[in-house]
Amino acid sequence: MTVHIGAKPGEIAETVLMPGDPYRARWAAQTFLKDAVLVNEVRGMLGYTGTWNGHRVTIHGSGMGMPSLSIYANELIRDYGAKTLIRIGSAGALPEHVKVRDVILAQTCSTLGSPSRAIFRELNFAPCADFGLLSKAHAAAIAKGTPTHVGGIYSSDTFYDERPDLWKELTRHGCLGVEMEAAELYMVAARHGARALAILTVSDHIATGEALPSDQRERSFGAMVEIALEAAFA
């Protein structure tokens, strides 16, 4: 066990799906995994391990923001041997052609700063997704008929960001959406030689103000979980 993860050796699978919300981790494990077992609940951050189509999978919460995700991603890779980490979360869309309920596959992630920023000093390191995971996720999404967009996103560590000029510039440069964790996930994975991908369901739209009601979010997020599982084991 580690400071933040109470799982015993061997209880974490090599493939880990990481929603931000620990209760969404529980929902996804109970919905998609067979024989899911609770392996972590330290500080209320739930993690479950089970199987999907015979493959061992862990679904573990990451918390909100890059500092929280960095803790779990580092420990999962370094101490438990995780080799594939897929973020399954929500995002706010920026351009008009990206709609609520669509899925975004984050090819690259821009950010103003993350816990890894100090390592690079003056270098503006550009983290990107694992191409194998990205291509398989795209194929799975197309096969399911899920409206899907591939491209760059922005990972913010500020939820209540009051910079409309930033949204304007991000949109002008083709950024598809905004979330809070993926850039650090990609950096940690790159540092440790792991595979990483962020698959994001659009829950709201920055420009239009449209948002999914809370009771519809889980139903809309199901396609994202299926895409993640198929990408990991295709």
Residue 142 annotated in ligand binding: no
Q: Measure the CA–CA gap between 22 and 214, rounded to whole angstroms.
A: 16
Hey, what are 20's tokens? 């931000």
- 47 by Cβ neighbours in 10 Å (0-12 / 13-18 / 19+) ranks as buried
88 is in an annotated binding site: yes
Tell whether 87 is in a known binding site: yes
**Residue 204 marked ligand-binding:** yes
Q: Which of 35, 130, 157, 204 is catalytic?
A: 204
E strand residue ranges, the chain? 15-18, 34-40, 47-52, 55-60, 84-93, 103-110, 148-155, 177-179, 195-205
Distance CA 86, CA 174 (A): 23
Nearest Cα to 154, choosing from 117, 181, 133, 187?
181
Q: Is 35 annotated to bind ligand?
A: no
Q: 189: which 2 tokens?
A: 């994975």
**CB neighbour list of residue 61: distance below 8 Å, 6 or more residues apart:** 18, 19, 20, 21, 22, 24, 25, 45, 46, 47, 72
Annotation-wise, does 155 bind a ligand?
no
Say if residue 179 carries a ligand binding annotation. Answer: yes
Active site residue 204: yes
What amino acid positions are annotated as catalytic residues?
204
Residues annotated in the binding site for phosphate, as ranges?
20, 24, 43, 87-90
Residues annotated in the binding site, as ranges?
4, 20, 24, 43, 87-90, 179-181, 203-204
